[in-house]
Amino acid sequence: MIEKIRVAIFASGSGSNAENLVQYFNQHQKIEIVSFYCNNPSAAVIERAKKLNLPCLIFSKADFTTKGTVLLKLEEEKIDFIVLAGFLWLVPTYLVAKFPQKIVNIHPALLPKYGGKGMYGHKVHQAVAFNKDLETGISVHYVNELYDEGDIIFQAKIKVETTDTENSIAQKVHKLEYEHYPAVVEQIISKYFNV
């Protein structure tokens, strides 16, 4: 029996992408979502974790920025790979070094456009609508020590119509995230671990 690749999901908000990932990998032969990690004690993702019968570590800035609780828990759970799904904090250098090319993130825009500190969720869609962009989309990228600057692995695009609002753009982009993120994560893990 092959040992499964053990994955942790980091999230800060509602956790809809996190739940989508769990459902995708539910019966997977080689990849298993083991736990959630959350930096926001009032995030809806915590309830989702309970509903999915998955442990969720809620941690503070201090737990995360220094080699403490978060790292110990990742080691204890024998985590092989980390997936960010709406996680808003910058990943500290020690964690990037501990998981080289083994942390991925999804960004709701076509990076390098609308990336960087403070650019997340509706702020991105607002910018796309305000600037009357003709297209937007998603970017899956490796995580490094800077916001949204790791190597891009995958992008998917959608057309932005003149009638689109910030909300309708958000809905279109969410659809792309649900459609592509789990499969891209599967490809990255399969390739990296040769499973």
Q: Which residues are catalytic?
A: 107
Q: How is the beta sheet containing 152-159 ordered, strand by strand?
A: 56-58, 31-38, 5-11, 81-84, 103-107, 135-142, 152-159
CA 39, 57, 36 angle in degrees (round to 5)? 85
Query: Residues 22, 184, 126, 121: is their CA dihedral positive or negative?
Result: positive
Q: Identify the DSSP state of 191.
A: H
Closest Cα partner for 38 from 85, 98, 105? Answer: 85
Per the listing, tokens 């909300």 go with 167
Question: Which residue has tokens 């869609």?
Answer: 125
DSSP 13-26: S--HHHHHHHHHHT
